[in-house]
Homo-oligomer: A and B are copies of this chain.
Amino acid sequence: MTQGSAPTERGAREQGEANGVTRRRNEREILAAAERVFARHGYRGASLQAIAEQAGLPKSNVLYYMGSKRGLYVRLLERMMERWNALLDDISVEDDPAEVLEAFIRSKMQLSRRHPEGSRLFAAEILGGAPFLQEYLRGELRDWVEARARILEQWAERGLMDPVDPVWLIFLIWSATQHYADFEAQVLGITGRNELSDKDVEEITTFLTRVILKGCGVRSRADTPAG
């Protein structure tokens, strides 16, 4: 009665495969499941039981791999931060504002599309007052924004765009793109779609690029006669 399962062929291991293949697969499965559950219910609302079920593993196994709920959550946040940091890594004042801003909008849009659960996980963390990310926001991310803001300012000084507040502009792009991941349920409900197609995303990207660039009076370097 205490142990009813068959002695072999249990778990996800199935047949004896050498090395850490199962390990890697389980870990990946857990991280994906956890991202979904944390994104949907927030840190407190998420349960390890739900994560384990979605990963197709016993709860104990999740804890065996990840140590603790907190550790799993932090690991997911860090993974998302890495993805974000890779964005728009190297830009300079010499670059073309139109190209850079379009690239920013486009890559941010793709980040939201490629990792919607991760985007929502991040949003849920911020929504809850960023208890785990305070340090990151006030440190790394702040520097990231500051550096890019200074470049935008210099572009404005050179007459390549209107003298708008660069930080508000970055927030505008952030929010407009983030919206399609975080508020997906709303976007789909209002537009009556089941999902956003590649074509939809391309259309939205074009729309945002056009409106924001025009709104900031961005002139492509090619359009400007003199340096």
Chain B nearest CB, measured from A162 CB (Å): 8
Stretch of A6-14, A21-29, A69-77, A206-214 contacting B (4+ beta carbons < 8 Å): A206-214
Contact present for B130 and A189 (CB under 8 Å): yes
Q: When the two chains form the complex, which single residue of B45, B168, B203, B216 contacts A204, counting CB atoms closer than 8 Å? A: B168
Chain B nearest CB, measured from A166 CB (Å): 10
Specify which chain B residues have a CB less than 8 angstroms from the CB of A187 in the assembled complex. Answer: 171
How many monomers of this protein are in the complex?
Answer: 2
Specify which chain B residues have a CB less than 8 angstroms from the CB of A41 in the assembled complex. Answer: 42-45, 128
Specify which chain B residues have a CB less than 8 angstroms from the CB of A176 in the assembled complex. Answer: 171-172, 175-176
Per-residue CB contact flags for chain A residues 153-182 toward chain B (1 = under 8 Å, else 0) read 000000000001101110110111011101
Task: Report how far A162 CA is from B14 CA in the complex, Å.
Answer: 61
Per-residue CB contact flags for chain A residues 183-198 toward chain B (1 = under 8 Å, else 0) read 1011101111000000
Task: Report how far A186 CA is from B140 CA in the complex, Å.
Answer: 12
**A175: nearest residue on chain B (CB-CB)?**
B179
Specify which chain B residues have a CB less than 8 angstroms from the CB of A151 in the assembled complex. Answer: none
For the complex, is A58 an interface residue (Cβ under 8 Å from B)? no
Contact present for B145 and A190 (CB under 8 Å): yes
Per-residue CB contact flags for chain A residues 31-61 toward chain B (1 = under 8 Å, else 0) read 0000000011111111000000000000000
For the complex, is A123 an interface residue (Cβ under 8 Å from B)? yes
For the complex, is A215 an interface residue (Cβ under 8 Å from B)? yes
For the complex, is A87 an interface residue (Cβ under 8 Å from B)? no
Contact present for B45 and A43 (CB under 8 Å): yes
For the complex, is A19 an interface residue (Cβ under 8 Å from B)? no
Chain A residues within 8 Å of B, Cβ to Cβ: 39-46, 120, 123-124, 126-130, 134, 137-138, 141-142, 145, 164-165, 167-169, 171-172, 174-176, 178-180, 182-183, 185-187, 189-192, 203-204, 207-208, 210-217
Q: Which 5 A-B pairs have the closest CB atoms?
A: A215-B215, A137-B189, A44-B45, A45-B45, A175-B179
